[in-house]
Amino acid sequence: MRRTGNSRKREHITVTTQVFADTDWLIQWQQHGTTGEEAIARFLHLPALEVDDMIGMWVGQELATNHPIDGLMPPFGWHGKNFVSADEGHPLIMRDRFGFYPLNPFFIPLRLLLASPRLFNNAVGRTVVRNLGRFFASGRPKARLRPVALGGTVSAAMIYDEKPIIDHFRRIDDRRCLGLMEHRDFDRPFFFLLTRE
């Protein structure tokens, strides 16, 4: 009886994954959002990336899963990520009226954002960040790329130097990858899309 139950469970997982594979899942996700459970299943189904595959500048886009920080990044001017080498990663490339700059993630109060997202995500908060963000810029890299296992697959991931954060990456196609952010204080991951610039 136990074998039968396990077999049925595996069959259900296979069918669910096939539904994802047979639909234009990314467009649906971008337009309508998805659940955290579906996002994780989609991520784990994608192939791995080598560390060298991530080198370069990437444009970022949030992918909604009803996460507490959904919608916070774009209004503050988040542009994407830049990996100069495996040991030189800039997790937060921001854009203001003067151009691009690397924001030091050490100064992002994620715990406060999780507790009170509306405290920053308003007209005053956005104006303050856009005008004062460069004071918190860092010319030094603040993250590294390393191969990290998740869900039984080893793939490229970005490990932050001063935050309990790991961004895992999986390949969508030659120009795009799906990102899954793990934070010690998150009860579930945050998802984003990266497109090679």
**Exposure of 158 in the CB half-sphere (CA atoms within 13 A):** 28
Q: What is the mean pLDDT of residues 62-89?
A: 92
Supply the pLDDT for residue 120: 66
Residue range 78-100, pLDDT digits in tens: 999 999 999 999 999 999 888 99
Supply the pLDDT for residue 153: 98
pLDDT above 50: residue 62: yes
pLDDT above 50: residue 158: yes
CA gap 169, 39 in Å, rounded: 13
Supply the pLDDT for residue 72: 81
27 and 59 housed in the same domain: no
Supply the pLDDT for residue 112: 74
pLDDT above 60: residue 22: no
CA gap 79, 102 in Å, rounded: 10
Backbone dihedral angles phi then psi of residue 41, each to the nearest 5 degrees: -60, -45
In this structure, are strands 56-63 and 190-196 parallel, antiparallel, or unpaired?
antiparallel
39 and 56 housed in the same domain: no
180 and 90 housed in the same domain: yes
**Percentage, residues of the chain above pLDDT 70:** 83
pLDDT above 70: residue 171: yes
58 and 15 housed in the same domain: no
Residue 135 tokens, joined = 């004071």
- Asked if 167 contacts 179 with a C-beta cutoff of 8 angstroms, the reply is yes
Overall domain count for the chain: 2
121 and 177 housed in the same domain: yes
Which DSSP symbol is given to 85? Answer: E
100 and 190 housed in the same domain: yes
Q: Which residues pair with 88 in a beta bridge?
A: 85
Q: Who wins on pLDDT, 72 or 144?
A: 144
Least confident of 49-58, 68-77, 140-149, 171-180: 68-77
Q: What is the mean pLDDT of residues 47-55?
A: 98
58 and 124 housed in the same domain: yes
- Give the pLDDT band (50/70/90) at residue 117: low
Which DSSP symbol is given to 56? Answer: E
24 and 107 housed in the same domain: no
Structural domain span for residue 106: 47-196
87 and 145 housed in the same domain: yes
Supply the pLDDT for residue 28: 92
30 and 10 housed in the same domain: yes
28 and 110 housed in the same domain: no
25 and 69 housed in the same domain: no
CATH number at 77 reads: 2.40.128.580
